[in-house]
Amino acid sequence: MITDVAGVQVGHHERVGDGWATGTTVVLVPEGTVGAVDQRGGAPGTRETDLLKPENLVQHVNAVCLSGGSAYGLAAADGVMRWLAERSRGVPVGSRPHEVVPIVPSAVLFDIPVNDWGNRPDASFGYAACEAAGPRVAEGTVGAGAGAVAGSLKGGVGSASEVVGEVTVGALAVVNAYGETVRLDSGVPYAAEEAIDEGFGVPPWPGRPGRVTPRKASGLNTVIGVVAVNAGLSKAQARRLAVAGQDGIARAVRPAHSMFDGDTVFALATPGEPVTGPAELDALCAAAARVFERAMVRGVLSATSAGGVPAYRDAWPD
């Protein structure tokens, strides 16, 4: 789980049922955490991402907010900022402790088709997700994954981690992809090897068509997520992690990074020993791709049906 990285906490808040299938996921990090981002695809929905560029002033972030609701869902970050401000966490801009501006980079996914019009996350979702944050990461149809759709199947939230030397590399993915994540003629995930490693099954996979009808894509989608490490990285080094996280998307979805996706991966480096050599950084980047790929598999296989979209477990119940 991404919370295997010391100091990282995750919270979800969602509404599912009665015309709702949407939510917000917040990743809270300790003081001094460096942030970066990599965005691909033609339909992004983001907030506070330009400040993560290496050449810009702000060096540290306080949280990342991931939400449903398309551009409307960016309002959830207001609640995250309020929660952090109440605790005097942010960039100091005045002489008194509470005079801070919390730094909360955010990204949203398009889940409007599975909700009644007007049902979308607002600031209260972000605040509630912060209140719920802790070391346990719920997966599947929760938080920002409540209304997520992965091709023809229900998408969701997944998380994974691994250790490289003395560094823990963790990922959290919200899978709402335009492309398919599994072969509909067999039930085998495109990232099948990673799914097996995660304990979701052993060969043979179902090997037959499931109870699922290929869906016509909604036209606007997105995979969003976070890669985190407990290592001292610069903003430029952290961005390399975010770039590598996008490789995990490319392995798990076909097609990936389409004009209809806004695929966005944040990288978070909590305080730790500096990474100085390119070989050490490269090893962390390779792990970032693997854990993001595994997190995506977990998100799809953990999901339960919502908004009339079948889950993997419905299509291949055995």
- φ/ψ of residue 65, rounded to 5: -110, 125
Distance CA 273, CA 308 (A): 47
pLDDT in tens, 141-173: 999 999 999 999 999 999 999 999 999 999 999
Q: Could you list the residue range(s) of the whole structural domain that residue 192 is in? A: 2-306
Q: Is residue 311 part of a domain?
A: no
Q: Report yes or no on 116 lying in a domain.
A: yes
CATH of the domain at 160: 3.60.70.12
87 within domain boundaries: yes
Q: 291 in a domain, yes or no?
A: yes
How many domains is the chain built from? 1
- Flag whether 313 is in a domain: no
What pLDDT, in 10s, does the model give residues 128-141? Answer: 999 999 999 999 99
pLDDT tens sequence across 170-209:
999 999 999 999 999 888 899 876 656 555 555 567 878 8
Phi-psi region of 121 (alpha: psi -120 to 50; beta: other; left: phi over 0): beta
Domain membership of residue 181 (yes or no) is yes
Q: pTM, whole model, 2 decimals?
A: 0.95
Question: Is residue 314 in a domain?
Answer: no
Predicted confidence (pLDDT) per residue in 82-127, tens digit: 999 999 999 999 999 999 999 999 999 999 989 999 999 999 999 9
Whether 316 maps to a domain, the answer reads no
